[in-house]
Amino acid sequence: MHGNHLLLEEPIRMASILEPSKRTVYPAMTKIVGTLGSKSRSVEIISDCLKAGLSVARIDFSWGDNEYHQETLDNLKTAIKSTKKLCAVMLDTVGPELQVVNKTDNPISLQADSLVILTPDQEKEATSNLLPINFTGLAKAVKKGDAIFIGQYLFTGSETTSVWLEVTEVHGEDVVCLIKNSATLAGSLFTLHVSQIRIDLPTLTDNDKKVISTWGVHNNIDFLSLSYTRHAEDVRQAREFISKLGDLTQTQIFAKIENTEGLTHFDEILQEADGIILSRGNLGIDLPPEKVFLFQKAAVYKCNMAGKPAVVTRVVDSMTENLRPTRAEATDVANAVLDGSDAILLGAETLRGLYPVETISTVGKICAEAEKVFNQDLYFKKTAKYVGEPMTHLESIASSAVRAAIMVKASVIICFTSSGRAARLIAKYRPTMPVISVVIPRLKTNQLRWTFTGAFEARQSLIVRSLFPMLADPRHPAESRNETNESILKVALDHGKASGLIKSHDRVVVCQKVGDASVVKIIELED
């Protein structure tokens, strides 16, 4: 976490900043997770999003039913076929999210210094002085002086659509609050967040389980985003649940950290989860504003050292309604990259924002610029020191491949893998060039039928910084002979040439298994 993440080999000529950026094959090595919804669910828009750099489609079940999201996902599959751009799917659970229910959909105006009652009686109509909520235990959880937040700020960043409340007293199951700022709540659903208070609801709710076991199973989801993860046990329970759902045994679980409880148990959660999502919307409410950056840097550092993807949210809120991000937001995106983040997650910006395609494109460009000045040398030394000696065989091979690629100025690293682990370890050392992860399918059987695995592993690398997957011909087994490896390598090189990644006389570093040995070799291409 210490040291300068910004690479300044020599003082930057200010004039060079004005020079146009060179076009690259991939918009950026940092990945973009985009939430698909009302403004981004047509085949045309999704196709443009994929071309702009979208690599993981997030489906948020906080709103919309299975049928609505299925239609969106079917459109995504059509867009993938037409653009030939691979995209993974992430299902985002609702979790123990508290909500104000507004059945009439009429806007509710709340005036500062007046009182409002929060009641668990959802049959009552929402008004300026009475807000029904979907939780019966709020009165037992809060006390006088506690802060409660309601509104769309989590999604839009706009203070005028959000309200801060202070608990003044509790009457039975009702909670009486003082309104701290005037605001208008618009829509049928508003998130309610109680600062630093534990809500006694399961992390994986019955409704979440129903969605996962129906929609999730039907669509073979690649990632499960576990909202409001508070303990390592939450991840263990979720994994036990999906382990009984056929193909979902391969689904990766990303723990979403969004309150102080998750922060407190971060180390144990990281150990259990496949990746981490830093949900800065809720964290920004639970933590003092001046502490948010510190948690981000510490958490991303821990993810980097563990070799697990770190995803950062809430970066360009203003692009929900504007074509350009603010200066602070652009800097924030770059700093997330310099911190070592694997991916940027876009929520409202692509879900219902006016410019989903432009947002993805803009974020990608900022990421690409930050990657150019990422201090890889410092990062490499720090990671190797953290791993210590003796390194495991695979870790040694991965770090050697990255170091060799940088020393010989290779244009790409090509990694043969079947589980995806070798490619992820290479990505852990943050190479400055793309890594073509050649996933070699494995044959497996459940005694009723034979199937090839590999598609999951290929798609799951789409959330890891610098990894770009391609699926090898399943007729080549993972433990292949040398001549078979050479034929797959030729396909990978041809793919690199066709996409413009590799040119004549370029050097390429190849990491592959030959017999029982793992080999790193450097090849120089002829005309």
What is residue 471's predicted lDDT score, i.e. its pLDDT? 79
Mean pLDDT of the chain: 87
Three state DSSP letters for 205-266: CHHHHHHHHHHHHHCCCCEEEECCCCCHHHHHHHHHHHCCCHHHHHCEEEEEECCHHHHHCH
Question: What pTM did the predictor assign?
Answer: 0.90
What is residue 483's predicted lDDT score, i.e. its pLDDT? 54
What is residue 479's predicted lDDT score, i.e. its pLDDT? 47
Q: Which tokens sit at 320?
A: 């929900």
Three-state secondary-structure class, residue 31: strand
What is residue 38's predicted lDDT score, i.e. its pLDDT? 86
Q: Are 302 and 267 in contact (CB under 8 A)?
A: yes
What is residue 22's predicted lDDT score, i.e. its pLDDT? 72
Q: Are 473 and 488 in contact (CB under 8 A)?
A: yes
Q: Which tokens sit at 33?
A: 């997770």
Matching residue, tokens 């759902």: 245
Q: Are 425 and 395 in contact (CB under 8 A)?
A: yes
Give dist(CA 221, CA 91) in Å, integer: 7
What is residue 181's predicted lDDT score, i.e. its pLDDT? 87
Domain boundaries, the chain: 24-96+202-372, 108-190, 376-525
Q: Which helix (H) or strand (E) holds 72?
A: helix 66-83
User: Architecture of 108-190 per CATH?
Assistant: Beta Barrel (2.40)
Q: Which CATH superfamily is domain 24-96+202-372 in?
A: Phosphoenolpyruvate-binding domains (3.20.20.60)
pLDDT in tens, 71-123: 999 999 999 999 999 999 999 999 988 888 888 878 889 999 999 999 999 98
Q: Which tokens sit at 483?
A: 């001549």
Mark the ranges of the chain whose per-residue pLDDT is less than 50: 1-3, 154-157, 477-480
What is residue 44's predicted lDDT score, i.e. its pLDDT? 96
What is residue 497's predicted lDDT score, i.e. its pLDDT? 86
Three-state secondary-structure class, residue 132: strand
Type of residue found at 263: L
Q: Which tokens sit at 161?
A: 């659509």
Q: Which tokens sit at 485?
A: 């490896």
Q: Are 476 and 440 in contact (CB under 8 A)?
A: yes
Residue 119: which of 141, 134, 102, 104 has the closest Cα? Answer: 134
Give dist(CA 358, CA 370) in Å, integer: 18
pLDDT in tens, 373-382: 899 999 999 9
Give dist(CA 489, CA 501) in Å, integer: 15
Matching residue, tokens 């669910």: 41
What is residue 1's predicted lDDT score, i.e. its pLDDT? 45
Give dist(CA 485, CA 95) in Å, integer: 45
Class of domain 376-525: alpha beta
Residue 496: which of 445, 439, 436 has the closest Cα? Answer: 436
**Can you state the angle between helices 43-52 and 356-372, rounded to 10 degrees?**
10
What is residue 153's predicted lDDT score, i.e. its pLDDT? 52
What is residue 155's predicted lDDT score, i.e. its pLDDT? 47
Three-state secondary-structure class, residue 364: helix
Three-state secondary-structure class, residue 466: coil
Three-state secondary-structure class, residue 327: helix
Three state DSSP letters for 158-214: CHHHEEEEEEEEEECCEEEEEECCCEEECCCEEEEEECCCCCCCCCCCHHHHHHHHH
Q: Which tokens sit at 433?
A: 């060039």
